[in-house]
Structure 1
């Protein structure tokens, strides 16, 4: 197989929390004002953005040519955000949900898009106190992008399992490794994309959704894999935001290799294994429920097999692409860590009282912190 190594980008959504109690606090405006006042926004290798709620803040990296670029972008941006947060008596926390009771006061970001979403979706929008990690891989050809999206659907269950980092919600253990997934799944345009025969088939689906009032335009599609309208990429949106920088670096490398494999297979006209939508949806739910602590479903073969075995299938499939990048080590280290020590959800469950869980997440969010 021959491979072209694409550029990548990453987005992370962070919690803003009280440094003493660990509860979410709506400090986004103050933190962003501090960053602007000190000129950090111009110097950062990322764009800093509001999210739906004011107790959230998001980074979107510049285009990265290597995983070292990704690491630098995440490290510099997190440090800048930590400093700005602390200047406002706030801490930065990177996890899919906040474990503590939900704040009673609503703190929606006053932007027209977010206000319209809240007006329409009501409680679903108000409850959307969730934090994800989105990975973009360069994709100039949208026709190719549709076929790559088709090929990558099979890996969504294992990607959900290895990034699980949200076991707690509103003060209780939910029993899920990724409860963020269950909250997000309520959104009408969330979930895995369908299989599309062509770009015309994909565009027909978009047109139908606009015609029936489901979405205003294509940018309101929030599938687990999508083709963004503003940038020429394919975007993977299913992951909980991970706590440690090295986890995100490894995950970005994993996604890049999956896309490289899919492009190579498409160029060779290798047939796409059919997947029933119901099987895929169940397999993703099962992964969100159990993470890496149970058997998982391979949606192609319909087998139930050990989580580490499914991850090994993925790693074996992408091995040639990984080797072509020359950056296999961070990806392998991420996979090994998940198998040996579990996911972020597993670490949270070992953290004791919920306030201690948040404190541990805060400590691990800071780049180059000493890890347990």
Structure 2
């Protein structure tokens, strides 16, 4: 099976941000995507409105950037779409926010978007699909050659706990504290073609594996492979899908800068003839679980002998190591925001603080997330 790879300029960037539509009175999720998207076309025109689209549920709108050259450009692109969406939502008594899960809305009360693709998904996956009331951020980074795609995907698996710990924002599910920093990651990986990528050593192995999945009827197209990190042939990118929904532009900038710098460095190493290291699957699986369970308080496995280090320390060292790359790419400020997340806590911790201060009232969590979305930065616990 030949899969064309549309090469991209090295380290070009694209971001996808899944937003929740929240009733400002009840703080529950509420349908409204179709009407808002129709009004957006009338307000900004077809081309600009194409950067906002439907998702599985009518209470979700996904905002996407164009192909950007830098993190600041991507953040400005997102803002240019979110700002008119926010105005249109507020006219309907709705607010925009983002978190890995809504703290208390029940998926059984939400309407699935009318679309053949989503209908097929639900028909095939049944309960697994119907409960996918979850929200994430996806970061695409361009690579020039399919020969580089799989080595970079494999090497990025070492950093799954870093991205998940920084973004973990789903401690609550249907009104219950799950005990996890990221319940979203566990819900999503229940799909048979989601979760950790298979370690495929080159593009030919990827093509062969995709052919097997299509021939066996497991998938209809390669779009139905939703790995935490995957190559995206049509865009010519490596796509990081591991992140929980991020409430603020500042946090999106931080993880986007981290992703762009890592891929750029790996791209350079491949050009120089280096072989990128690929971690053992058991280490990746264990570290993903630890980040999902404990967030930034996780201790992750750092060698084949079971040695561990705090993920915070690993992230701090990584940011310092990548700073020269970030300066060259024009995202040093955004990469530095990783330190702000480490200081203030990831979203799951901020949500838990808001709930605790409100005596367990989870509407306070929604109010915090709405405020953070509007401000573009985390609400600092005080």
1:100-119 aligned at under 5 Å gives the runs 100-102=104-106, 104-119=108-123
Q: Give the whole-Å Cα distance in 2 for the aligned partners of 1:112 and 1:182.
A: 26
Q: CA deviation at 1:66?
A: 1.7
1-side partners of 2:377 and 2:83: how far apart? 11
Alpha carbons 2:107, 2:130 under 8 Å: kept? no
- Give the match for residue 329 of structure 1: 333
Contact kept, 8 Å, 1:224 with 1:237, in 2: the verdict is yes
Q: Could you say what secondary structure the match of 1:292 adopts? A: helix
Aligned twin of 1:259: 263
Q: Deviations over 1:308-329 (max 9, x none)?
A: 1111232244233223223212
Secondary structure of the residue that 1:227 maps to in structure 2?
strand
Deviations, residues 130-167 of structure 1 (Å, cap 9, x unaligned): 00000111123112111111221111111111111111
Instruction: Tell me by how many angstroms 1:212 deviates.
Output: 1.7
Q: Residue deviations 1:38-69, cap 9 Å, x none?
A: 2355446x611100111111011111112221
Match of 2:358? none
Cα distance per residue 1:20-43 (max 9 Å; x no partner): 111111111121122123235544
RMSD: 1.9
Partner of 1:314, secondary structure, is helix
Which of 118-127 and 76-85 deviates more? Answer: 76-85
224-233 or 163-172, which deviates more: 224-233
Cα distance change of structure 1 residues 368 and 286 upon mapping to structure 2, 3 Å threshold: closer
Cα separation, 2, equivalents of 1:184 and 1:103: 14
Q: Secondary structure at the match of 2:61?
A: strand
What aligned pairs does 1:340-351 form with structure 2 within 5 A after superposition? 340-351=343-354
User: What is the rounded CA distance, in whole Å, between the counterparts of 2:285 and 2:37 in structure 1?
Assistant: 38
Say which of 361, 365, 369 aligns to 1:357.
365
- Shift in Å, 1:300: 6.2
1:8 to 5, 8, 13: 13
Structure 2: runs of 5+ lacking an equivalent: 1-8, 356-360
Distance in 2, matches of 1:120 and 1:311, equals: 39
Report the TM-score, using the length of structure 1 for normalisation: 0.93
**Equivalent in the alignment of 1:156:** 160
- C-alpha distance in 2, partners of 1:209/1:255? 28
Q: Deviations over 1:62-117 (max 9, x none)?
A: 11112221221122222111111112221111111100141543411111111000
Match of 1:74 among 53, 72, 78: 78
2:297–2:312: 8 Å Cα contact kept in structure 1? Answer: no
Distance apart, 1:194 and its partner CA: 2.1
Name 1:366's counterpart in structure 2.
Answer: 374
Compute the displacement of 1:338 (Å).
Answer: 2.1
Q: Given that residues 78 and 366 in structure 1 are in contact (C-alpha distance below 8 angstroms), is that contact kept between their aligned partners in structure 2? A: no
CA distance in 2, matches of 1:148, 1:370: 31
Q: Counterpart in 1 of 2:51?
A: 47
CA–CA distance in structure 2, aligned partners of residues 78 and 299 of structure 1: 42
Aligned length: 367
The 1:297–1:369 alpha-carbon spacing in structure 2 relative to 1, beyond 3 Å, is closer
State the partner residue of 1:27: 32
Cα distance per residue 1:328-369 (max 9 Å; x no partner): 121112x21122111011111111220111011111112557
2: CA distance between counterparts of 1:273 and 1:301? 16
Question: Match for residue 206 of structure 1?
Answer: 210
Give ranges in structure 1 of 5+ residues lacking alignment.
Answer: none
Q: CA contact under 8 A between 1:132 and 1:240: conserved in structure 2?
A: yes
* Alpha-carbon separation, structure 2, partners of 1:326 and 1:60: 21
- CA shift, 1:17, in A, is 1.1
Alpha-carbon shift at residue 272 of structure 1 (Å)? 3.3
Change (3 A) 1:272 1:140: closer
TM-score of the pair, normalised by structure 2: 0.91
- Within a 5 Å distance, the mapping from 1:158-237 to structure 2 comes to 158-237=162-241
Separation in 2, partners of 1:183, 1:195 = 22
List per-residue Cα deviations over 1:219-254 (Å, max 9, x = no partner): 111111111233121111110121111110121111
- Contact 1:41/1:47 (<8 A) preserved: no
Further displaced range: 10-19 or 148-157: 148-157
Instruction: Tell me, in whole angstroms, the C-alpha distance in 2 between the residues paired with 1:41 and 1:90.
Output: 23
Q: Take 1:347 and 1:85, find their aligned partners in 2: how far apart are those partners?
A: 25
Q: In the TM superposition, what is the alpha-carbon distance from 1:268 to its structure 2 partner?
A: 2.5
Structure 1 position 189, deviation (Å) = 1.0
